[in-house]
Amino acid sequence: MAVFSVRLQEIIDQFHLVPVSEAERAGEIKITTSDVNRPGLQLSGFLDYFGNDRIQIMGMAEMAYLRNLSAGERESALDRIFTRQFPCMVVARQLEIFPEMLTASRRYHIPILSTDDITSAFMSGLIRYLNVHLAPRVTTHGVLVEVYGEGILIQGESGVGKSETALEIVKRGHRLIADDLVEIRRVSDTTLLGKAPDIIRHFIEIRGIGLLDVKNLYGVGSVKIQENVNLVINLEIWDRAKNYERIGITEEYTDILGIKVPSHTIPVRPGRNLAIIVEVAAMNYRQKEMGYNAAQTLVERAMGQGDGAAPLDLDDSGAFGLDDDEAFGLDDGE
């Protein structure tokens, strides 16, 4: 798996950190882990399991410990950890920085930075930032839209109608995140975050017309920088020989970076309003997340278990005896 990195200068700019010492190298230093460390035990001499690749954060407790040491003891304690060549040290709360820290910084060429944020707030913000920017990622062909607050990844073969569906979705008041290429990052064990590559952000391609700037055509409310991937819609040309899901009891999933995302396969046929189908899929997903499953309710009624309803006679396919042509409103002549 590829290892991603963030340059220290980007972190300085993002969190408005104040350079104190050796910050000239910030553009060269790469951060490769979202783990950070408060070196309390290390200052006292316990250096087992010290993460050389972690940003070291000095809070009120660490600085108070150093303050209680003599100048010689302080220099020795700092020298022990600076020899480990970690990326940088950040001092929180704009606490006073000891001369021995500056000496160690210059001796080992390790930047010292300062922030006025409290330690816990800075740490949590930094970890969130690094989790996103260092996350495992994959770029996939498709369209990502936000519908009723849910991130919907629309996939399918080239020419099946993904971009046209996305454009109709935008016209109906929802938002475009990415067209054609979607960069998906695994930011936690349960969360996937999708966005467009910078070069094609807010653009959509419609065959026969060309590229459209959605933000300029429909306004800033029609686009969004990034969104979680909650549901996958697979569009495919309708195949008479294939049995498509009719009731929705069987759950389908698409594996993305090791996370199983609920998915639907939607057959495409002239006359079908795919934008409305995607809207309904988003609303149905939200209902399931809130504990209501329409398909399960129907099955319970069919089994005579819900609200005293009489049992329904489902055929083996669970589709009330309709074939696919009837389900699409087609007769044998079409």
pLDDT band at 307 (very low <50, low <70, confident <90, very high): low
DSSP 216: H
- In the predicted model, is pLDDT for residue 183 greater than 70? yes
Asked whether residue 313 is assigned to any structural domain, the reply reads: yes
**Residues 82 and 106 occupy one common structural domain:** yes
**Residues 237 and 148 occupy one common structural domain:** yes
Tell me which residue range forms the domain holding 308. Answer: 293-334
Reported as a single tens digit per residue, the pLDDT across 196-238 is 999 999 999 998 899 999 999 999 999 999 999 999 999 999 8
Catalytic residues: 141, 162, 180, 246
What pLDDT is recorded for position 159?
A: 87
How many CB atoms neighbour CB 219 within 10 A? 9
- In the predicted model, is pLDDT for residue 314 greater than 60? no
Final residue before a domain boundary, out of 133, 152, 177:
133
Q: In whole angstroms, what is the distance from residue 87 CA to residue 84 CA?
A: 10
**Residues 91 and 171 occupy one common structural domain:** no
Q: Helix count (H) and strand count (E) of the chain?
A: 11, 17
**Residues 281 and 173 occupy one common structural domain:** yes
**Residues 252 and 302 occupy one common structural domain:** no
Cα Rg of the chain, angstroms: 28
Final residue before a domain boundary, out of 105, 133, 161:
133
**Residues 287 and 144 occupy one common structural domain:** yes
- In the predicted model, is pLDDT for residue 309 greater than 80? no
pTM, to two decimals: 0.79
Asked whether residue 86 is assigned to any structural domain, the reply reads: yes
**228 and 194 in contact (C-beta within 8 Å)?**
yes
DSSP 223: B
Q: What's the number of domains the chain is made of?
A: 3
Q: What is the mean pLDDT of residues 313-329?
A: 51
The first and second tokens of residue 242, run together, are 């294939």
Q: What is the mean pLDDT of residues 101-126?
A: 96
- Between 75-89, 135-149, 294-308, 312-326, the lowest mean confidence (pLDDT) is in 312-326
Asked whether residue 1 is assigned to any structural domain, the reply reads: no
CA nearest neighbour of 296 among 333, 238, 247, 261: 247
**127 and 34 in contact (C-beta within 8 Å)?**
yes
Percent of the chain predicted with pLDDT > 70: 91
Provide the CATH number for the domain around residue 79. 3.40.1390.20
Q: In whole angstroms, what is the distance from residue 240 CA to residue 242 CA?
A: 6
**Residues 147 and 283 occupy one common structural domain:** yes
Longest dimension (CA), the chain: 95
**Residues 23 and 106 occupy one common structural domain:** yes
Asked whether residue 98 is assigned to any structural domain, the reply reads: yes
- In the predicted model, is pLDDT for residue 332 greater than 50? no
Q: In whole angstroms, what is the distance from residue 91 CA to residue 99 CA?
A: 13
Reported as a single tens digit per residue, the pLDDT across 121-153 is 999 999 999 999 999 999 999 999 999 999 999
What pLDDT is recorded for position 333?
A: 45
What pLDDT is recorded for position 315?
A: 54
**Residues 271 and 285 occupy one common structural domain:** yes
Q: In whole angstroms, what is the distance from residue 136 CA to residue 259 CA?
A: 12
Q: What is the mean pLDDT of residues 46-54?
A: 92
Mean pLDDT, rounded, of the chain: 90
CA nearest neighbour of 177 among 188, 164, 166: 166
Bridge partner residues of 145 (DSSP): 152, 176
Bridge partner residues of 204 (DSSP): 212
pLDDT band at 27 (very low <50, low <70, confident <90, very high): very high
- In the predicted model, is pLDDT for residue 263 greater than 50? yes
**Residues 310 and 334 occupy one common structural domain:** yes
Query: What letters, b where the CB count within 10 A reaches 16 and e where it falls short, cover 73-84?
Result: ebbebbebbbeb
**Residues 244 and 278 occupy one common structural domain:** yes
What pLDDT is recorded for position 198?
A: 93
- Between 1-5, 50-54, 129-133, the lowest mean confidence (pLDDT) is in 1-5
**Residues 280 and 297 occupy one common structural domain:** no
**82 and 104 in contact (C-beta within 8 Å)?**
yes
Q: In whole angstroms, what is the distance from residue 257 CA to residue 283 CA?
A: 25
